[in-house]
Structures are given as C-alpha cells and as structure tokens.
C-alpha cells in the first residue's frame, strides 16, 4: 500500500516541526518521506488532499467497553473497532466488564486473538478481583503473561482496602498497572446523579463528590505505603484533582484521565431526566469542569478518554432510577473534547492527551511521526462541521448523548498496520 498525503499540517507535541505543512509518503506501513509541501509526486500512490487538515500520531482511548464476550447485542469487537476508527482512534484499552468478566488468561487470549487483524490495536485490561466481586485477587500474573496491560474492576470500585493493598503489591512485582475507579459506595449508596442543586430540584438521590474524593485519598495513601503506582480512571471533582496534584508533588506515582463528556456538560443538563446522560461518575458542577480543564493544563491529568459504555434501549429507555449508567462516545469524543478545550488549550496539548499521553500511562512505546517509523496516524480536521447520525455513528448501541447534534472537529482517516480507513 502506497499513500501520499499532500500539504498536511503536522501535529507533533513537543517538536519544533509541529505546525509545519508537509507532504507525507507512506509505503508498506512505514513513513518513507516527509518533505516540503507540494514537492512530492509518487506514481501509483493513493493521493490524499491534506490541505487545511492535520496529521498526528494515532489516537488512543484508555477506557472503552466492547462488551464481548457475553453482551454482543450491545457491542462486539468488530463494531467497537468500527466505532473507534470512526472516532479517529487506532488503539484502545478494553475494560473487563464482560460476561464472564476478563478474569483469567483465556478471556484475554480470546479478545486479543479475535481482534488481531483489526486496524485498531486492541489492548486488554483484566479484572483486579475474581469475577469483579472485590473479594479475592484475580489471576493477574497469568493475565499479564497472556497480554493484559492493566488491572481494574472498572465501575465496580474496590471497597476492600486490604484487597487494594495486596493488588498494588502484587502488580508491583511484575510491573502490572492498577487502574482505580474511585467510588466509596457506602457514601454514594444508590445515588443517581451528582449531589447538588439540580438533584434536589429533581428529587433524585445524589452522588456526593465526597464518594470519589474519599476513595482517591485512600488509594493514594495505599500507593504511597506500598511504594507502587496507580492510575485513576475518569476523575471528575475539583478536590479529587487537587489531591492527585498534591500527591504528584509529594512523589507518589499517580496518573489520571478524564472523559470527554465530563468536560462538556454539567449536572444541569439532566434537568429533563434524560437517561442517556445518566453516567458514572455523574456529570458534575461547572466548578468541577473548570478544575478538570486546569488539571489538563498543568499535567495533573494526562489523558482524555471516551468512557465508551454502549447500552441497549431496554436498559436506557425507562424511569431514571431504573436506567443503567453509561453513554457511548467513541465517535464523538474528539469533537466533544475539542469543543470544550479549544479556547483553553492549544491543539498540540489537546492532541497529546489523545496520543502519547494515554500510551505513557499504559507503558506503551510512544509513537513518532518521522521517517522510518511505522505509520500509525490520524488525519483530522478540527474545524469540520458534521452531524452525529446513523451514518456517522458506528456503534451497535445508540446511547450517544450527541446523536442528532452538530459538532465541530472530526477524524478524516486512520492509518495503522498497513491499512487505511476513511471515516464517513
């Protein structure tokens, strides 16, 4: 395969070449030439017009649910990869919330083998506890040897401090990465949305910010005690971010990500009881959004994820108290995040949160947009106007909060593994 991208603007965070306009030639999956714009002419190459478009390393999503095995009617590995490509992602980390959960090497091997030929690089997170029950450690080392990249009970927050301590110590022995979703369920109990003025007005039981903050404080202390490292998934409150920021200053090995949806909407968006927006952690306050943006600016938060949680209508189209948590978001994550951040962060900083930021957290090699490197790339237009509809949303599920809405910023194509996919 030969591809020539003409007159495209490079986005290479931290490089003096970022912002330069170049011709990029790719052959057999390798970047062969990066030359002055308009200078390259390659016979038989597929030519892509890159004028007013941008080219970066391939985007990576740290938090997706592809639901296979067990819940293929909501999403499967093939449809999940299609949604990822449509959103501009060439790599994803799949959460273990399947049926059965990914708690042994057989599930890890199944997912990796099923997805090995996809353009999207599918990485697997195994459970931290057996069956996500929070009682006994899972087969973490065996899963690691099978290819698991991280260990987490996903939205089933680990309540047992002793179990979390053992997990941190065990993972430390073989270089495993522990991901924590912070939620003290003795505080959040059966909360439905963020505790605040809107929850009081709607008569819905609130989920206090304290539930997240107490758990983050606990896990930071455990990480310091065990001299290990931890990653917090989808942090959402001001105090939580302050705690992580201070922990970094104190030398604790901690990283964090936020979801695109949490950057763009606050809890007032639930005023009409829209169950599509019932997510966990819940949409927070405007003050919390400002804190998340501040955390992205100063490096406290290293990555932006989609927190892609596809659900079927049977679990979403019902009374708010009974509806499932979760929103789909792979196809819209970049547009949503860019819309929330473009006036606050420069493009290089935003793209770093989608590319090497998440890869560094996972311990993957950083991608380089240079001659001789594998072509793992995302071509995108940050100004492109488009509508999220049936032709642009590829997920099996239709619980995307932005369905039917016009957005700005879209992936044009993704290139990886000597394959190319054009986004519709």
For the residues of 160-223, what is the DSSP string, one character each? -HHHHHHHHHHHHHHT--BEE----HHHHTT--EESSHHHHHHTPPEE-HHHHHHHHHHHHHHH
Distance CA 380, CA 146 (A): 34
Distance CA 132, CA 119 (A): 30
DSSP reduced 3-state for 113: helix
**Catalytic pick among 76, 183, 219, 307:** 307
Is residue 219 part of the annotated active site? The answer reads: no
Residue matched to tokens 């932005």: 402
Q: What are phi and psi of 213, to 5 degrees?
A: -70, -40
DSSP reduced 3-state for 344: coil
Which residues lie closer than 8 Å to 248 by C-beta, 6 or more apart?
A: 254, 300
Among 136, 135, 139, residue whose Cα is nearest residue 104: 139
Integer angstrom CA distances of residue 364 from 121, 216, 353, 408: 12, 25, 14, 30
CB 158 within 8 A of CB 138: no
Residue 417: count other Cβ atoms within 10 Å of its Cβ: 16
Kindly report whether the peptide bond that precedes residue 100 is cis, defined as omega within 30 degrees of 0: yes
Catalytic residue positions, numbered: 307
């Amino acid at each position: 395969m030969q591809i020539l991208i003409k007159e495209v603007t490079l986005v290479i965070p931290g490089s003096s070449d970022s912002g330069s306009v170049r011709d990029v030639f790719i052959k057999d999956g390798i970047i062969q030439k990066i030359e002055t714009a308009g200078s390259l002419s390659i016979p038989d190459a597929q030519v892509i017009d890159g004028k007013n478009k941008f080219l970066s390393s391939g985007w990576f999503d740290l938090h997706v649910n592809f639901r296979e095995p067990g819940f293929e009617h909501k999403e499967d590995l093939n449809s999940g990869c299609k949604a990822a490509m449509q959103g501009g992602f060439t790599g994803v980390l799949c959460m273990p919330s399947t049926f059965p959960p990914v708690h042994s090497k057989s599930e890890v091997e199944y997912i990796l083998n099923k997805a090995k030929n996809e353009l999207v690089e599918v990485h697997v997170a195994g459970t931290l506890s057996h069956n996500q029950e929070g009682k006994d450690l899972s087969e973490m080392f065996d899963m690691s040897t099978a290819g698991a990249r991280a260990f987490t009970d996903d939205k089933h927050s680990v309540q047992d401090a002793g179990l979390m301590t053992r997990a941190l110590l065990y993972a430390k022995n073989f270089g495993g990465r522990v991901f924590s979703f912070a939620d003290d369920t003795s505080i959040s109990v059966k909360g439905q949305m963020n505790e605040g003025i809107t929850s009081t007005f709607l008569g819905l039981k609130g989920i206090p910010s304290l539930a997240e903050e107490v758990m983050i404080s606990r896990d930071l202390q455990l990480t310091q005690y065990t001299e290990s490292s931890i990653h917090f998934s989808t942090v959402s409150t001001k105090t939580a971010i302050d705690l992580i920021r201070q922990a970094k200053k104190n030398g604790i090995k901690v990283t964090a990500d936020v979801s695109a949806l949490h950057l763009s909407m606050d809890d007032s968006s639930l005023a009409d009881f829209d169950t599509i927006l019932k997510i966990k952690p819940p949409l927070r306050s405007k003050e919390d959004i400002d804190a998340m943006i501040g955390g992205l600016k100063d490096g406290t938060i290293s990555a932006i994820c989609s927190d892609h949680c596809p659900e079927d209508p049977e679990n979403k189209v019902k009374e708010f108290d009974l509806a499932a948590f979760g929103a789909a978001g792979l196809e819209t994550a970049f547009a949503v995040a860019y819309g929330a951040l473009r006036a606050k962060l420069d493009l290089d900083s935003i793209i770093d949160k989608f590319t090497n930021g998440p890869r560094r957290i996972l311990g993957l090699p950083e991608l380089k947009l240079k001659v001789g490197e594998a072509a793992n790339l995302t071509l995108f237009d940050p100004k492109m106007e488009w509508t999220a509809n049936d032709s642009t949303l590829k997920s099996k599920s239709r619980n995307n909060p932005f369905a039917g809405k016009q957005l700005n910023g879209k992936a044009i194509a993704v290139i990886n593994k000597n394959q190319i996919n054009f986004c519709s």
